[in-house]
Structure 1
Amino acid sequence: MTPSGDAGALAERALFEMKRIIVGQDRVLERMLVAVLAGGHCLLEGVPGVAKTLAAETLATVVGGSFARVQFTPDLVPSDIVGTRIYRPSTEGFDIELGPVMANVVLADEINRAPAKVQSALLEVMAEGQVSIGGRSHPVPAPFMVLATQNPIESEGVYQLPEAQRDRFLLKIDVGYPTEAQELAVLYRMSVDPPRPSPVLDTGRLIALRRSAELVFVHDEVARYAVRLVAATRDPLAYGAGDVARLIAYGAGPRATLGLVAAARALALLRGRGYVLPGDVRDLAVDVMAHRLVPSFDALADGVDAATIVGRIVPAVPAPRIAPSQDDEGNALAAVGGAAPHHGEQSRDAGGPGEAVA
């Protein structure tokens, strides 16, 4: 399964099946599938009634595998999620009862309704792919993904996610309101006989798709561009974005750089390419970096959110200019002013006019 061939077509089929169920959230669905292909976790934030839970359930059905939903509430305890030890009188010993995280896709619904101790119970499983109970580690099924939803407007009984856990999510996707025409389509589609999603992938195909995404080529100049975007959140003044320097208390860490490149690879695959363009990195910058920033008191006082801050940084960091240059096999190789490809790496398909990546 090659990055620009069968894998891209299969990923597109999965996206089409999701769009058949969810109306008016094309960008959200694309980003969710990007998170799946990149092997990351996804946080959906939006007001009630914009199909966050339905989108998560639809994705879980389309990608196949086992699925578990956990409704987060203030009285939840960590053992409700990861599991616990249970004493068995018949054997006079303890057995381990694993929790609902032992599934391929775990939906943490309204994750910000549970206190920090419960939220942190997901940290190990999200970062390491395992849970530890009674001194023993238990790996989760492969592939594994956490989909979480949260409501940004409630203040009663809501606990803000700690920074360490927000950093574990590859993407944070804002789910907005549909347009009037889209809402009418929702009414017609869902009020009589709602459509039901069909599985397009299974665990084997999904693992193969993830491997194909890892093979998508990233030119050295595109990688440097991703590094500069993340570094600009730590020192905006050095990258020509001094107007936002007072708005950032802490910038994004190296995990954002790794996530940005991994997500760009997945997005390129989904768009039918075997190489990453600077536009792929730029399109994902807000989704990957915004939730990893810590806005300053000035930003909070001025009502400037993290997404707006990243939106100001991205135009200040110049993207590399990619020029078409073909080798003997028709592969695109050159970036204007860029370094040569790393030894041993191979290019994929040639890009469109004016765009090519080695």
Structure 2
Amino acid sequence: MENKDSQNEKLEFDSRIDLSPLQNAVEQVKSEIGKVIIGQERMIELLIISILANGHSLIEGVPGVAKTVTAKLLAKTMSVDFSRIQFTPDLMPSDILGTSVFNVKTSEFEFKKGPLFSNIILIDEINRAPAKTQAALFEAMAERQITIDGHRYEMTPPFLVFATQNPIEQEGTYRLPEAQLDRFLFKIDVDYPSLDEEVQILERKHEQKKEVVEEIVNSILSAKEIAQYQNLIKEIVVEKNLLSYIASIVNNTRHNANLYLGASPRASIALLDASKALAAMKGRDFITPDDIKTVAAPILSHRIMLTPEREMEGLTSDQVVNQIVESIEIPR
């Protein structure tokens, strides 16, 4: 009798939130992107998580590993406005935010919106623009609004920034300040494809002939559906001991001997939101410690700073994050 009751409770537990539409939409998005992109499953999954968790992503990798193409194709799967901005050393804040222009007919200034006023923003080589232009993104990324000439302009949801940068070429670049890095939900490191994947890339390129890759990707999600799924993520169940687990991981970064700078409470919230999105993508209405461990490195690695001694020894931020996660007891 007890077994039967527990089975009934499990059935009720499993059906608290209907996640099948979200799961189907995610699989369709992956399928559409897969028409063009070979491999890079981790980057694609993290970008989808960032959309569901309503967070921005910084994509880092050498040129030619499909950072920009993947972000463009992901935007193409959504029926929303898309804007691409190429950051350069001479780019001014007004070039992305917009500027007030004097209207001779009305004898008044009119605000002409810049390319940042869109839904999905792809910023190419974000570290090539000077600090004042990067700082122009702060308010928009954190508060989804822009204040210019005393007027506040709300960004139309969804508002997501996908930014790319090259970790190798440093000439003519400006390092992103910690305050700006902290506003990115993820820092996604993109590696080279495997040998088999590269062979598939060549085969597909050879078969495509004159086909335009952007035209073979279909739109799957509307702005309304994205908002619905983002709200659905908030309903994912989180046990109190898992909240303590997240807090313990982040707190450890502030007292770790290998680190000069630890993560802020914004990192704790990011771990919570991203874990919820990952759980939903897997069809669960509750998060597990594995969800938290999966998203820990891309959330924390860009929010911490190694001590000079550890950096000289060749230790990486990812390695420190993994050490921290493994050192903390998993809640039962």
TM-score by length of 1: 0.84
**Which residue type is aligned with residue 235 of structure 1?**
H
In structure 2, distance between residues paired with 1:251 and 1:4: 35
One of 121, 124, 134 as aligned partner of 2:136: 121
2:240 alignment partner, one of 220, 227, 230: 220
Q: Distance in 2 between matches of 1:257 and 1:44?
A: 21
Q: Does 1:53 align with 2:64?
A: no
Quote the residue 1:279 is aligned against: 290
For 1:169, the aligned partner's letter is F
Q: Secondary structure of 2:99's partner? A: strand
Instruction: Looking at secondary structure, tell me which structure has more helix per residue.
Output: 2
Q: Secondary structure at the match of 1:155?
A: coil
Identity %: 40
SS at match of 2:221: coil
**What is the aligned partner in structure 2 of residue 260 from structure 1?**
271
Structure 1 residue 314 displacement after superposition: 1.2
Match of 1:81 in 2: 96
Counterpart position of 2:253:
233
Is it true that 1:34 corresponds to 2:54 in the alignment?
no
In the alignment, structure 1 residue 110 sits paired with structure 2 residue 125: yes
In structure 2, C-alpha distance between the alignment counterparts of 1:263 and 1:157, rounded to whole Å: 33
2:215 is the counterpart of 1:204: no
Counterpart of 2:196, as a letter, is: A
Deviations 1:32-74 (A, max 9, x none): 0000000000110000000000011011111220000000001
Paired position in structure 1 for 2:193? 178
What amino acid does structure 2 have at the position aligned with 1:116?
A
State whether structure 2 residue 192 is matched by structure 1 residue 149: no
Shift of 1:21: 2.3
Aligned equivalent of 1:336: none
> 1: CA distance between counterparts of 2:315 and 2:131?
25
Aligned-partner residue type, residue 261 of structure 2 = Y
Q: Is the contact made by 1:222 and 1:320 (CA closer than 8 Å) also made in structure 2? A: yes
CA distance in 2, matches of 1:289, 1:250: 11
| Residues 274-309 of structure 1 deviation map (CA, whole Å, 9 limit, x = unaligned) | 111110000110011110002221122223221221
Give the match for residue 32 of structure 2.
Answer: 17
Secondary structure of 1:249's counterpart equals: strand
Partner SS state of residue 14, structure 1: helix
Match of 1:251 among 219, 240, 262: 262
Consecutive unaligned residues of structure 2, counting only runs of 5 or more, are 1-15
- C-alpha separation between the residues in 2 aligned to 1:110 and 1:80? 15
Residue identity matched to 2:24: A
TM-score if structure 2 supplies the norm length? 0.91
* One-letter identity of the residue aligned with 1:14: V
5+ residue gaps, structure 1:
237-244, 322-358
Paired with 1:192 and 1:113, the residues of 2 have a C-alpha distance of: 35
Corresponding letter in the other structure for 1:92:
S
One-letter code aligned to 2:148? I
Q: Compute the displacement of 1:190 (Å).
A: 2.6
Deviates more, 1:294-303 or 1:178-187: 294-303
SS at match of 1:291: coil
Taking the aligned partners of 2:152 and 2:183, their CA distance within structure 1 comes to 20
| Matching residue within 149, 157, 161 for 2:176 | 161
- C-alpha displacement of 1:254: 0.3
Distance in 1 of aligned mates of 2:18 and 2:155: 27
| CA RMSD, 1 decimal | 1.4
Task: Give CA deviations for 1:91-141 in whole Å, capped at 9, x if unaligned.
Answer: 222110111111110001110111111111110000010111111010111
